[in-house]
Amino acid sequence: MSTDGSSPVDFDHYYRGPAYKEEHRAWGKTLRDFIDAEIMPHVEEWEEAGEFPRELYKKAGDIGLLGLGYPEEFGGTPVDDSMYSMVTSEEMARIGAGGVGSSLLVHGIGLPPILARGTDEMKRQVAPAVLSGNKVICLAITEPSGGSDVARIKTRADLMGDHYIVNGSKMFITGGMRADYITTAVRTGGDGSRGISLLLIESDREGVSRTSLKKQGWLCSDTAAISFDDVKVPKENLIGEEGHGFAGIMHNFNSERIGMVTNCVAHARVCFEDALSWARLRETFGRRLADHQVIRHKFAEMARHIAATQAYLDQCAERVREGESPVADLSLLKVQATRTLEFCAREASQIIGGASYMRGERVERIYREVRVNAIGGGSEEIMLDLASRQLGI
């Protein structure tokens, strides 16, 4: 413990490693100022309303949040450094409401397939509008009949002349209610992964309908069920080659999972920090709550989980920066991170007690969002099975 009362597990005092440099600190400061001014004062109001104002996309575009890491020609800031993304995930976690980041930054999963595989015309049409915050894009993969088994997608796109005719439905689509563009996984061929393609579908096309879904957590994130009923889509909207969509989807998962892991560890740190502040002020049986041995041990266990997960994350992030694709470790890391979050959210709630059950507190919001992290982006069970297969077991 330092002399100023901070803990090495506090949000701003943990060891970040040599990859974290002054430019990352500067970006974190810019983003924190934006969050403190534009998001923190309103987040509980947005949670209760079930959405945040659409104008927040434009404000995020104006400070460069949406364009970070994207090509300059489309209005982005082309930083080839994943540490910026990790700092972004951490700062967004400070809000203690994952729905803000999941919807505000949903282009992080919807736009990359277009930039990687789309035509030049498609990139020019979509990317500048999305990175400026004027348009919203989402990714539609999961279906009512199955989630993690991407190779069994049923939504069909049949080529009829110069158009595809799309029929099917998607479920649990983050950003789906507001999206102007839907990067959609469709079946253009036979069974299995080789029959899957990616198609850009504008949400205002005839035959596209959307239903808003109510959730346990991520309350201010719009989540949709999307149906396609004989939707006519130009064949020019095909993203990449027909039958090659599965590889694009899988490639996208690596960056998505690192972002989710970073967010989980940061949320665990928020739980630690809020519980510690409470334990230092709360008095029980004539002394501070923090002076009881059983409570101190809870903090020690939380710190152990957080430190181990952070070290694993740093190792995997460095390997990805070096060009590796450590699928087994990324899968195991996601499980490690979601279980760390679950443990810390529970322990923080136990320490804070009844106050942690009240709406408006960060720990209360985070606890409700444990399951979406453990299931989304690949459930713990799928991740463990994928890792075991990668390990040759």
Specify whether 287 is located in the same domain as 381.
yes
Confidence of residue 282 (pLDDT cuts 50, 70, 90): confident
Specify whether 313 is located in the same domain as 380.
yes
**pLDDT surpassing 50 at residue 3:** no
CATH number at residue 197: 2.40.110.10
Specify whether 293 is located in the same domain as 350.
yes
9 in a structural domain: no
Specify whether 258 is located in the same domain as 373.
yes
Domain end position, chosen among 131, 155, 184: 131
CATH number at residue 82: 1.10.540.10
Distance between CA atoms of residues 55 and 63, nearest Å? 13
Give the global pTM: 0.90
Specify whether 216 is located in the same domain as 265.
no
15 in a structural domain: no
**pLDDT surpassing 90 at residue 6:** no
Domain end position, chosen among 203, 227, 243: 243
Specify whether 270 is located in the same domain as 371.
yes
**pLDDT surpassing 50 at residue 329:** yes
Specify whether 251 is located in the same domain as 384.
yes
Residue pair 312/319 in contact (Cβ under 8 Å)? The answer is no
279 in a structural domain: yes
Specify whether 122 is located in the same domain as 185.
no
Distance between CA atoms of residues 106 and 218, nearest Å? 13
Specify whether 377 is located in the same domain as 280.
yes
Specify whether 144 is located in the same domain as 228.
yes
382 in a structural domain: yes
Domain end position, chosen among 206, 228, 243: 243
3 in a structural domain: no
1 in a structural domain: no
Residue pair 356/364 in contact (Cβ under 8 Å)? The answer is yes
- pLDDT tens digits for range 51-91: 999 999 999 999 999 999 999 999 999 887 888 999 999 99
98 in a structural domain: yes
HSE-up (13 A, CA, CB side) for residue 167: 5
Q: Which are the catalytic amino acids?
A: 256
Number of folded domains in the chain? Answer: 3
Specify whether 343 is located in the same domain as 312.
yes
- Beta-ladder partners of 197: 186
**pLDDT surpassing 50 at residue 178:** yes
| Residue in the structure block whose two tokens are 């630690």 | 272
Query: Domain range holding 112?
Result: 22-131
Distance between CA atoms of residues 305 and 300, nearest Å? 9
> For the chain, first and last CA: distance in Å?
43
Mean pLDDT of 254-266: 89
DSSP string, 52-88: --THHHHHHHHTTTTTBTS-GGGT-B----HHHHHHH
Distance between CA atoms of residues 130 and 70, nearest Å? 11
291 in a structural domain: yes
**DSSP 8-state code for residue 132:** T
Specify whether 349 is located in the same domain as 215.
no
**pLDDT surpassing 80 at residue 204:** yes
Please give the C-alpha separations between residue 245 and each of 71, 323, 376, in angstroms, as whole numbers. Answer: 22, 22, 20
Least confident interval from 4-8, 181-185, 283-287: 4-8
